[in-house]
Structures are given as C-alpha cells and as structure tokens.
Amino acid sequence: MTGELTPSEINDLLSREVTGNLACFDKGVVYMVPISYVFDGECIYGHSKNGLKNEMMRNNPQVCFEVDNLKDLGNWQSVITWGRYEELGEEKEKEAALRLLQLKAAPLRGEDMPAGWPFSEAATTEMKGILFKIRINKITGRFERTA
C-alpha cells in the first residue's frame, strides 16, 4: 500500500532523521548535496563551510530538501520540503541553531571522533562556516508499506 504521510508522521520523520538532501538551482545548474540537519517543527537548520551550495543559494534562495527512511523496497517513508534559504546573522539565533545541532549530533558521535565534531563547542563568533535555516513553505510526505 502507498499513500500520503499525515502531518504528525511528516514531523516525526523530519525530527528523527539526521541527514537529508539539499537541492538548489542557479544559472541553469541543479546541485544536490547531503547535509546533517535539525528540524525545530518549523524550519530546517544546518551548518556549512562556505562553498558552491551557499553561493548558489545566495543567488537563488528557493531550495528543496528531502529526507527518507528506507527499511526495504516495500517499506519506506519520504518527505520533501520546499522553502527559502536564509543565512543566520543575529548572534542569538546562531547560538540557538548551533545548540540544536549539537544536541542532535551528540548521541551519534563515534568514540574516535574529536570532541565537538561535527559541531564545535566554540562560540559562534569563532566558528568557521555558515549557520543557515530553510524556512519551509510547502511540505509533502509519502510512504509505502507491504504489511
């Protein structure tokens, strides 16, 4: 059976997963890259080193973000969001986003990973890279279940 996820199931999947695929478009080029993220119930938050995706999203802030969970080919869930990329500038908002990312990543940190990886404990003013959010304006979710 296939169908649409309920709003609650969409929120659960976005809250549960740790990585998703961010797609952007600029000057005739589509670019998609996996990112680690956190969902606060309204926006997707991420951190990135300055590079191609940030340059593209500054030029065209309309983006698409996809998350999925695949148990097997007959049992999966997928959520697609569309929204607007915004770099975080205010220190208070950057600190809140960084704290959410740190809390989400902490249980997944391997024993051989350096402290603070992938999100440093350093103050946001000392961080390298960009903290950003995707302000969601459309969202869909689908599933397939064999049972």
Count other Cβ atoms within 10 Å, centred on residue 19. Answer: 12
Residue type for position 18: V
pLDDT tens for each residue of 67-116: 999 999 999 999 999 999 999 988 899 888 888 888 886 555 555 555 55
Mean pLDDT (whole number) for 24-52: 94
Q: What is the pTM of this model?
A: 0.85
The pLDDT assigned to 13 comes to 98
CB atoms within 10 A of CB 103: 11
Prior bond of 118 cis (ω within 30°): yes
Residue 128 clears pLDDT 80, i.e. is over it = no
pLDDT tier for residue 43 given thresholds of 50, 70 and 90:
very high
pLDDT of residue 108: 54
